[in-house]
Amino acid sequence: GHGTIKLRCFKQECRECFLPVWEDPNFPVENIDVLVERLVKNIRVKCYRDDLGEANRPSVFEGRLNGPHESAHCEACQLGIC
């Protein structure tokens, strides 16, 4: 059957600002394709019990990564769903 998938991009606060504002995430176009591939794979594994192996296409990172995930500044963590 057909279904609907809803995707929400959670926001993040600046860790250096005194009164930070929630900022929308920026994704390179290449990562949107990777995201959709991973989503389809997860649906096939969880709903249809397909065995697709472990290989995933890597995400593309532009710029620098500033350390580990910080729950205090993550919208999804604060909502209890990260």
Instruction: Report the C-alpha gap between 27 and 9 in whole angstroms.
Output: 10
Full-model pTM:
0.60
Q: What are the CB-based long-range contacts (under 8 Å, 24+) for 55-63? A: 58/34, 59/31, 59/34, 60/28, 60/30, 60/31, 60/34, 62/28
Q: What is the dihedral of CA 44, 49, 51, 54, to 10 degrees?
A: 60
Q: What is the DSSP letter of 57?
A: P
Residue-wise pLDDT tens for the chain (82 aa)? 677 878 788 998 988 888 989 988 877 788 888 888 888 888 888 888 888 777 777 776 666 666 667 888 899 999 998 8
